[in-house]
Chains A and B, each alone.
Chain A
């Protein structure tokens, strides 16, 4: 075998003074990093296999282990960076497309971090959410042009709406890309907190029908798992056109992940690759999209809002306008940092737009066209914490989708190796021995805790701004100031500079 040029990315350090040779690490590493040598009765590590997922570090009962970035350095070069050299070695060996999991990790600016929130001082009172009511309730769906009130009560009938107790939903992740236990965790958390999770293009496993009222069922280009019961089981239907981690391309669930349960749920043969085409082969125009939207509305007798999800791309505002006019009730926009279970690395890292710009552009455009009320806007693509949520609402979003943060709550350590199917945390895997590592009771508790924590924080921030209802913040860009942004960026975002 010719010499391989790929050196380990990580080094596993074992403190021999603390290691008790209990072999928990050996038993817990699906990448077979740790191994026990019978002869010396000692545990050793194969560094090259390590993906730095921290499973061993976390479970080690004596805190013996440390995983470091391999300090081995290439000659310093701002152009030929280490990751670039390594990827060339990899491709020179494999001849294949480089794959990646989770979202874009490149050092593009994070615009959320360049936006600052306002707070009340003297001239307007702030509100203490522990003492006074604070409303975060959010309705997603088409809002009528006018409302008629009779005898103090709403008279006009409203189009179907999703009702959220917190403007945060769990974004689309399919059964196949993540484990059933991960989905169960999110579904139960959504039910407990009063929000929604999204099936992705994985169909709805029979165990999940019980969570139907908190489910958004997705219809994507592969149409996997789509049937009348599925459409009617959810609270809303989402047509997936694209996603931020791989705009313009389809999905590929390898056959080895298509076990019995995935096969039944997706309605495809066991062991077969699940290939989602890049486009919907019946959608080549806004008119075609309208047909699908109304087909789905017909199928569900106009009882459920229909969402259309797109990746944030260059002319996102015009596309969103078209989608609104095609009859969608919700537009979900996924920024270029959106995560995934598997995507070509170069696409993940080089295609799409920051969600902050896409959101600002879409919200402004729909307002200009006077159709903002016709659709709700949900944004996704790396909403990391409650301040990101508040900034997104102020920029014009009705709600946000989170996925990576939700998975981190379940135990994800962002090793980005989802595509290997060997997720040591039981999330991005279908291997039964790994799936069982995620107890959905624990997962649901943690995911629900995350949402509850964010809810408290959102209320604190709103109170600070003197706002007692989230509705008053929606599109209220006066509450935002930009920092370190160019005039052009500020004008696209529609916010003033800090100090203005």
Chain B
């Protein structure tokens, strides 16, 4: 399946991926300004940039075969889609126990606190057909969606 990969040679650490991820997952889909200014519970980014300007890389869910998160999930909210291979979380079934946070070796599951708390992770912005927001807005093409 396709995943988002990072080329650290060209990752600038600008964190635009994080900003656009937040916007893409806000109710003001893809509108950065409204997502940040008008949202009471701003979503957390599903991608995290590590490092500094010189050495940096973005990390998001690897949709790995081991899927430690899904195996650890106490509610069954986290599961691998047998058709696409994507590991997806049903936010409505998540109770925010953070066992997935404990299990993911990439640290790619994040905690959302709002009216309800639940875990969030990269959902490839809904599918593999088009580039997710982070890839689309990476100014240096350091992020790519590929097999």
Chain A residues at the B interface, C-beta cutoff of 8 Å: 18, 20, 22-24, 27-28, 59, 61-62, 432-433, 436-439, 441-442
A20 and B141 in contact (CB under 8 A), knowing A61-B16, A62-B32, A436-B10? no
Contact (Cβ within 8 A) B139 A433: no
A27 adjacent to B141 (CB under 8 Å) = no
Verify A442–B53 contact, CB threshold 8 A: no
The verdict on A59 contacting B9 (CB below 8 Å), with A18-B33, A20-B37, A24-B16 known, is no
Instruction: Name B18's closest neighbour in chain A (CB-CB).
Output: A22
Determine which of A23, A61, A442 lies in contact with B32 in the assembled complex, contact meaning CB atoms within 8 Å: A61
| Assembled-state Cα–Cα distance A433/B52 (Å) | 9
Majority DSSP secondary structure for residues of A touching B: loop
Q: How far is the CA of A439 from the CA of B144 in the complex (A)?
A: 13
Contact B13 A27 (CB under 8 A): yes
Q: Report how far A437 CA is from B54 CA in the complex, Å.
A: 10
> Chain B, 120-147, contact with A by CB distance < 8 Å: what is the 0/1 string?
0000000000000000010111100000
Contact among A22, A28, A437, A439 for B19, CB-based, below 8 A: A22
User: Which of B9, B14, B137 contacts A28 (CB under 8 A)?
Assistant: B14
How many B residues face the partner with a CB closer than 8 A? 23
Please tell me if the beta carbons of A27 and B53 are within 8 angstroms of each other in the complex.
Answer: yes
Q: Are A439 and B16 in contact (CB under 8 A)?
A: no
**B9, B10, B137, B142 interface centre (most CB from chain A within 10 Å):** B10
By the criterion CB–CB under 8 Å, are A22 and B54 in contact? no
Give Cα A479–Cα B11 distance, bound, in whole angstroms: 49
Q: In whole angstroms, what is the CA distance A18 to B137 when docked?
A: 19
6 contacts between A and B (CB under 8 A): A20-B33, A24-B14, A27-B12, A28-B14, A433-B52, A439-B140
* Chain A residue at smallest Cβ distance from B140: A439
Is B36 among interface residues, defined by CB-CB distance under 8 A?
yes
Contact, CB under 8 Å: B141 / A436: no
Chain A residues near B10 (CB-CB < 8 A): 436, 439
Min C-beta distance of B50 to chain A, whole Å: 13
CA distance A67 to B25 in the complex (A): 31
- Smallest Cβ-Cβ distance to A25: which chain B residue: B14
Asked if B54 and A61 sit within 8 Å, CB to CB, the answer is no
Given A22-B15, A24-B16, A27-B53, does the pair A436, B9 have CB atoms closer than 8 Å? yes
B12 and A28 form a contact (CB under 8 A): yes
* A382–B58 alpha-carbon span in the complex (Å): 40
Chain A: minimal CB distance from B142 (Å): 7
Inter-chain contacts of A23 with B (CB < 8 A): 15
The distance in angstroms between the C-alpha atoms of A20 and B37, with both chains bound, is 7
Q: Is the CB of B12 within 8 A of A436?
A: yes
B18-63 with Cβ < 8 A to chain A: 19-20, 23, 32-33, 36-37, 52-54
